[in-house]
Amino acid sequence: MQIYPAIDIRAGNCVRLHQGDYAKETVYGEDPAAMARHWISQGATWLHLVDLDGARAGEPVNTSAIGKIIAAAGGVPCQVGGGLRSERHIADTLAMGARRVILGTRALDDPAWAEQMTRAHPGRIVLGLDARDGMVATQGWLTSSALSVSEVLRRVADWPLAAIVFTDISRDGTLSGCNVPATRAVAEQSRVEVIASGGIGTMADILAVRDADLPGCIVGRALYDGRVDLAEAIKSCG
């Protein structure tokens, strides 16, 4: 199972939010590129990067910081999300060196456009599916949509996606454990791999994702707070 250390960027800093609430921010460092190098030194073979300002603004904001992270990663692949809502945003991010880009809000608001992007960049687009109580949220988690998770999965069934990142917003940043049953249900409805996200707080949580035969999980606050040792987690899931 692949473990993706999360590097969330706001105002150029490495931060974590509690349940996606921009008013509940913890700053973990002023040099996200140094953080990337640290996780790679612990064995990370993928990085998950999110431009939080971009997610709220609807366009990339922390482009410089993300570019520095990708450069610092030295070939370790990065998937990048947050505010990527135009063809130019996608092209620029891939040209910067991102292996995959994550589409969220616009993919849900304009599925015809999103499908076109997946066909223009097959295997390079990840769908970010963020949900609360089975309903999808958009606009940097600030807006609840009228779409159910199942409805979205039916809509994207034939798209050449690289993966789906499924986040239970109610768990994100809480360290209360990943919603494995909901993530497993998404995986059973999807033809592409589904990456678990939100709530992982202990090694036991990571092993629960592994034991559910899910291919990957994103780990954020638990790494930054020292609750999970990345090298140990990678060894346990390798």
Q: Which two tokens mark 83?
A: 């505010």
Q: How many residues does the chain have?
A: 238
Please state, in angstroms and rounded to a whole number, the distance separating the CA atoms of residues 171 and 96.
31
> Is 31 in the active site?
no
Alpha-carbon gap, residue 6 to 81, rounded angstroms = 11
What DSSP letter does each residue of 66-86 carry, written as one string?
A: HHHHHHHHTT--EEEESS--S
Q: Distances from the Cα of 75 to the Cαs of 45, 70, 80, 163, in angstroms?
A: 9, 8, 14, 20
State the catalytic residue, choosing from 51, 53, 130, 205.
Answer: 130
Phi-psi region of 99 (alpha: psi -120 to 50; beta: other; left: phi over 0): alpha
Distances (CA, A) of 105 to 2, 52, 56, 114, 152: 25, 13, 10, 10, 12
Eight-class DSSP state of 46: -
Report the candidate in 61, 73, 75 with the shortest Cα–Cα distance to residue 5: 73
Annotated catalytic residue 8? yes
Q: Which of 8, 168, 172, 205 is catalytic?
A: 8
> Residue 103: beta bridge partners?
127
Residues that are catalytic = 8, 130
